[in-house]
């Protein structure tokens, strides 16, 4: 069941976070470990399995949840949490395990955690040989989602009031109703439609004859747009986007041009 979408992040930000030790490490050791394990996770991605047996498996062409379910077979939240000296989330429903079906709150990331991942989680950015060796993995398993993450945030950058408005709408529902209805985020299926900013609640009847999903995979777009809205509320959207840009400049610079 999809409610508030699973707090998940693109490859650079998820794969960087795994660890094997159960004792929290110091900052320098954490940086080294993140770099090493991000290499391992990226290399293992082609052989990863679906870690969410109760969900549909669209990997590698699905959205954030589909991607996370495969990363989770290589990198587990529990190992990340037990290995770092800083919390992953400052507030929200997640404790020792991720609470994926919460409709009353969402995880607010710790900005320090996000910065740690952005700075240390893309080994290909500092190692051209590794980048070349893993380029095919990015192209096959990461590029589609990364590009959708990119275009959705760029649209928010070009329409900042849209981002603020959708953030306020989500906050209002959580505060006034105590939860968000199950189908709420489905509206973002049409997010890339040129008319979405003017009529974000238009729905199927409005958009079907006005460009529909604008040629994008709306099922992926909705997970990305909803991710950025939540990140704008916890204040980590800009840091996550820096990580995304670092990833794409390393592996996908032609697309950015």
Tabulate helix, strand, coil % of the chain (nearest 5).
60, 0, 40
Q: How far apart are CA 37 and CA 64, in angstroms?
A: 21
pTM metric for this prediction: 0.87
- Predicted local confidence at residue 213, as pLDDT: 96
How far out from the chain centre does Cα 12 lie? Answer: 10
Name the burial class of residue 198, with classes exposed (0-12), middle (13-18) and buried (19+) by CB atoms within 10 angstroms of its CB.
exposed
Confidence label for 255 from pLDDT (cuts 50, 70 and 90): very high
At 69-110, the pLDDT tens digits run 888 877 778 887 888 888 999 998 888 888 878 888 899 999
pLDDT 10s digits, 18-75: 333 334 456 788 888 778 778 888 998 999 988 876 777 788 998 888 888 888 877 7
Q: CA torsion angle for 162, 168, 174, 175 (degrees, to 10)? A: -170
Under 8 Å CB-to-CB from 157, ≥6 apart: which residues?
none
Structure tokens at 85: 């000296």
Q: How would you label 158-169 residue by residue, b for 16+ Cβ within 10 Å and e otherwise? A: eeeebbeebbeb
Residues with Cβ within 8 Å of 94's Cβ and at least 6 positions away in sequence, in order, are: 7, 77, 88, 107
Least confident of 72-76, 158-162, 172-176: 72-76
């Amino acid at each position: 069941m999809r409610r508030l979408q699973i707090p998940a992040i693109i490859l650079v930000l998820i794969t960087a976070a795994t660890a094997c030790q159960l004792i929290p490490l110091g900052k320098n050791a954490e940086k080294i470990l993140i770099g090493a394990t991000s290499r391992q996770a990226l290399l293992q991605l082609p052989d990863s399995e679906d870690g969410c047996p109760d969900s549909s498996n669209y990997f590698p062409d699905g959205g954030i949840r589909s991607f996370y379910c495969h990363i989770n077979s290589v990198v587990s939240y529990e190992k990340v949490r037990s290995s770092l000296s800083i919390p992953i989330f400052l507030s929200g429903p997640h404790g020792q395990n991720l609470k994926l079906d919460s409709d009353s709150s969402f995880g607010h990331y710790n900005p320090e955690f996000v910065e740690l991942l952005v700075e240390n989680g893309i080994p290909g950015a500092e190692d051209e040989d590794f980048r070349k060796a893993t380029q095919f993995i990015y192209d096959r398993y990461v590029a589609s989602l990364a590009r959708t993450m990119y275009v959705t945030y760029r649209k928010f950058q070009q329409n900042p009031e849209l981002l603020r408005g959708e953030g306020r709408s989500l906050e209002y529902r959580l505060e006034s109703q105590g939860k968000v209805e199950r189908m709420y985020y489905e509206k973002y299926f049409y997010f890339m439609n040129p008319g979405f900013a003017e009529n974000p609640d238009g729905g199927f009847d409005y958009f079907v004859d006005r460009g529909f999903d604008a040629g994008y995979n709306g099922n992926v777009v909705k997970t990305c747009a909803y991710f950025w809205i939540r990140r704008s509320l916890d204040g980590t959207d800009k840091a996550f986007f820096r990580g995304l840009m670092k990833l794409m400049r390393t592996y996908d610079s032609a697309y950015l041009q």
